Structures are given as structure tokens and as C-alpha cells.
Amino acid sequence: MGGIEALRCDLTKCASAEQVYAEIARYAASEPDLPWILGGGWRMPFFPGGSPRREDLDKIVPDRPVFLINTDHHGAWVNSTALELAGIDATTPDPEDGRIDRDSDGVPSGMLHEGAADIVGAVLPTTTSEEVRAGVLTGERVLFGFGITGWEEAILGSYAGYEDFTPYYRELLDEGLLRGRVSGALWVSRDFDGMTIPEFVADLERRRDQYARAGLRLDTAKIMVDGVPENETAAMEEPYQAECSCTGGRGLSYFNAEQLCELVPLLNARGISAHFHAIGDRAVRYCLDAVEGVPATDRASVRNHIAHLQVINPDDLARFGALGVTANIQPLWACLDAQMATMTLPLMGELRSQWQYQFASLERAGANIVCGSDWPVSTSDPWQGMHVAVNRRAPGETEAEPLLPHEALSLASILTAYTRGSHDLLGMPGGVIEVGGVCDLAIADRDPFAGPASDIYLTRNVLTTLDGEIVFEAEPRA
């Protein structure tokens, strides 16, 4: 998705609503023959209440439908034409797994959260095979540039208007065009594609056996348990703060506890690891409870992991090590940026705000910690994430208040998590430098241990090798 979106209306580099509007206008003018304007990467803090409006898109693109995914990929911004084509109006009910933002008269405002975006997704033009192939190869080049030679494609299945990319990965590997090491997480749909859970797991096995090959591991299933706190879809044990909440609820859990407790043991028994998306403390507990129901011998044979882990009840920290559940963290988010300060903290309240991104606590509790980027949600540059893990401040911020500084990790710990930890989690060779090891190397322009911690983010990758072959070399600086 990151590669495809980089080739569409890419809003990831925009730093304000004004820049977003300008980039949409520029892109639309440059592509007059496209039937839809597709892309994404805009950020919620740019807009009042985190919700951009359809009228603003209507002014910029009055003649074509527009569908722009939020940078966190948990919602989409659409114009009036897109709403009309999808049949969304004041009478359209919210889906069980999403919400349509509305004006006081019930008319949709243009922001669609979670499953509500899929209503428009159903009428989007099909992503062509040429777009998918170009997107995968573009994504690989981006990752090589940051010193990344292996990755997990975290959603292989129909999601957010995209089709299943699995056949294209197999095709590109067979043609020798894709060189990186790939692990694919087969998507667990929220309705199990109309099957019973045992039938669905059997179908995952079929897909794994059909497409897996050297260079493409397919022994993981992606289970998105909840959403994100900014739109009140992260699953919390207690309701969001009433004075700041627009729903008054505890968020959404896309799978209930009983479904997960049936699903996960079946996956693990067949050698399929669970890759959970869990942001809220209730979602995290659901995941741990499901893994606890797996026989110990089955747990030991897979690599279950929970990604994101924004809010964890401290009572659950020790369960990660005890159950062999890896903490897959995205450290770039663990800072007091505009979204955290203006949207997240007011909804969380004082107590839960202290439970966010507990990296050091997880480490002390014996959890195995690894790192990923969640790109295109955030940059895939590991040095930016390492900087925040150590400083608990956004890159380049030296005076800002750190977010819970007692939860910082050492540079040695976070560097290990990004290298050996992630390789081990995905069952890939490499991640360590040793005689006889795989010659995948990322060469930095400096020793990050030699300078001040506040400069970690300035580290740049200058050369990447894959099996001893140079796959990226930075242009010399002027």
C-alpha cells in the first residue's frame, strides 16, 4: 500500500491543511483523465476535530469522486460525488464496525471511520495489476533506501479498497524482479468471509500452501482487533472521557473475546502465528487471553505478536513474557506531538495517559521487544523511531516535554529490537553481524553511540547490501 500510495496523491509530506489542499489541487490538475482521485496520508490534527469536510474537497475537485485515506489508515476523507456514488446519505446507518461523521442534520460530513470507508471502497475502481506491481517494487526501493532488506506485508487480503496482493508477490518473485525477503500476514476478515472459524482457518492454510515459496513466508495471520483512539475506535476497558467524547463508548472491538479464543488456538495448531493489531487496553487483554488458551506446545512453535500496544493495563505487562507474546512496537508515535496533545490525551484521561507506550516497563517485565514502522502510516526510516524510543520526543525537538520519559529505552536495546529482534520474529536470516552470517548490511553515515542522544534522528543510511549485493547507495552529498 505504501508504494501504491506514493504513486498516487501522496499527502504524507504535507505539514498543514493548506499544504494538503494545495497538493490535492496540484495532483488533480496533473491527472485530468483519472476517473477518481485516490491517495492519502493526511493527518487528523490538521483539521478541526480531526475531521476534514466534503465541501473543501468539492471546491478543489468538483468534477470527480475523491477518496483519500487518513495517514493511520483507519478512515477516509471523501467528497460529495464519492458519497453519492456509494449511496451514502443522511439515511445511511453506521456499519457495525465503523462510523459516518455527520452534521447536525444527519448529512454525512465527508469523514468515514473504519468500516464506514468500505462502503465507498466497494465502488472504487479496481487497482490494476500494473499499479500493484509498480507499488510493490516502489515500496521495496523505499525500504532498501532505509537499510531494510526484509519486511512483513501486514495485510494480504481485501482491505480499504485494495484487493489481495498475494498473487503479485508470488509473480514478482518468480520473475526475479522482487529481491527483498518478504513475510506476508494473511488478512483475517471481520466476518470471516461468511465462513465458520474452522472453515476460515482451513482456507488460510489453502492460501498459504498455494502461494508460499522461497522468499515469501505466509505463516502469519493479521487480526485487527480494534481501531485508534483519536476517532474513539480503539477498544478500551473504560469509556473515553465524557467531556471530550463524541460517542461516550469504549471503542470498537472487531472480534469479540469468544471469537478470538476460538480462532487463535486453531491458527497456532496449524503453525500460523497471530499478528494482532491492538491499540486499546481492552484489545490487548483480548489478545493475551486468546493466546493463553493455546496449548503451551503450540505456542512454542509459532511467533505470536501484538503490534502497536499504545495502552496496556500494567496488570498485563508480565503476561507477554509468560505467554511468549512478542511486543511489536512502533516507537515513532511515543511522543507529545500535536495529535497526542490535542486529540489523544483529552480522550484518555489522566490514568490511562500514564499507560501509553510502556516500552521500558515491557522490557523489565521480560517481554521480547521488536520494532516495525507500520509504513505508510509513518516513515519506514528506523533511525527516526529509534530516536523517539530513546528521547521520547519527536525528532528535532529538544525543548518539548518528553512523553513519560521513564519509559525510554537505551539505544542498544532499541537497535537490537530493530535488527535481531525483527529478523527473529519473521523467521528471516540476518539481523546480526557474524562470520558466516547473511551479508545483509545497512551502513550508516555516523556512529549513533558516539554523539548525543538528541542527534540520533540525524543518522542516515548510505548503503544497503542484500546477500552481499549492493541494492542501495546514497548520492554523495554536495
Tens of pLDDT along 225-239?
A: 999 999 899 999 999
Per-residue pLDDT at 246: 77
Q: Tell me the mean pLDDT in the region 55-67.
A: 96
Q: What is the CATH number of the domain that holds 93?
A: 3.10.310.70
Answer yes or no: do 234 and 318 share one domain. Answer: yes
Q: How many domains does the chain have?
A: 2
- Tell me: do 115 and 144 sit in the same domain: no
Residue 68 lies in a domain: yes
* pLDDT of 441 above 90: yes
CA distance 54 to 374: 27
Residue 78 lies in a domain: yes
Residue 385 confidence (pLDDT) above 70: yes
Return the pLDDT at 247: 80
Looking at the domain assignment, is residue 117 inside a domain?
Answer: yes
- CB 386, CB 339: distance < 8 Å: no
**Residue at which a domain ends, from 426, 452, 467:** 426
Same domain, 107 and 148: no
Is pTM beyond 0.85? Reply is yes
Task: Give the model's pLDDT for residue 96.
Answer: 87
Say if residue 210 is in the same domain as residue 114.
no
Rg (CA), the chain: 22
Mean of pLDDT values over 443-458: 97
Asked if residue 477 has pLDDT above 80, the reply is: no
* pLDDT at position 49 over 90: no
Verify that 52 and 192 share a domain, yes or no: no
- What pLDDT band is residue 28 in, cutting at 50, 70 and 90? very high
- Each residue of 283-339: pLDDT tens digit? 999 999 999 999 999 999 999 999 999 999 999 999 999 999 999 999 999 999 989
Question: How many whole angstroms separate alpha carbon 56 and alpha carbon 219?
Answer: 44
Task: Looking at the structure, tell me whether residues 302 and 353 fall in a common domain.
Answer: yes
**Residue 112 DSSP class:** E
In a domain, 472, yes or no: no
Statement: residue 375 has pLDDT above 70: yes
Edge-to-edge strand ranges of the sheet holding 273-278: 150-156, 181-187, 216-224, 273-278, 305-308, 326-329, 369-371
Asked whether the CA dihedral 391, 395, 400, 404 is positive or negative, the reply is negative
Location of C-alpha cell 502469519: 220
% of residues, the chain, pLDDT over 90: 89
Residues 113 and 143 in one domain: no
Domain boundary among 73, 103, 121: 121
| pLDDT exceeds 90 at position 358 | yes
Percent helix, strand, coil in the chain, to 5, is 40, 20, 40
Contact 263, 255 (CB under 8 A): yes
Q: Tell me which residue range forms the domain holding 25.
A: 2-121
Q: Is residue 302 part of a domain?
A: yes
Mean pLDDT of all residues in 95-110: 92
Q: Do residue 105 and residue 244 come from a single domain?
A: no
452 in any annotated domain: no
The predicted model gives 428-449 an average pLDDT of 94
Q: Report the CATH number that the domain containing residue 406 is assigned in CATH.
A: 3.20.20.140
Mean pLDDT for the chain overall: 95
Would the pLDDT of 432 be above 80?
Answer: yes
Residue 441 is assigned to a structural domain of this protein: no
Same-domain status, 197 and 101: no
Domain identity same for 343 and 377 = yes
Same domain, residue pair 211 and 301:
yes
C-beta of residue 409 within 8 angstroms of C-beta of residue 360: yes
Q: If pLDDT is split at 50, 70 and 90, which confidence band does 245 have?
A: confident
Model confidence at 50: pLDDT above 90: no
Positive or negative, the CA dihedral 346, 347, 349, 353 is negative
Structure-block grid coordinates of residue 383:
533511525
The 10s digit of each residue's pLDDT in 203-218 is: 999 999 999 999 999 9
User: pLDDT tens across 399-418, in order?
Assistant: 999 999 999 999 999 999 99
- Say how many CA atoms lie within 13 Å of 59 toward its Cβ: 6
**Residue pLDDT, tens place only, 162-176:** 889 999 999 999 999
Residue 318 lies in a domain: yes
Predicted confidence (pLDDT) at residue 97 exceeds the cutoff of 90: no
Q: What confidence score (pLDDT) does residue 430 get?
A: 87
Same domain assignment for residues 12 and 109: yes
* Between residues 50 and 141, the one the model is more confident about: 141
SS3 380: coil
Examine the pLDDT at 478 and tell me if it is beyond 70: no
- Angle between helix axes 166-174 and 197-211 (nearest 10 degrees) is 20
Which of 121, 143, 161 terminates a domain? The answer is: 121
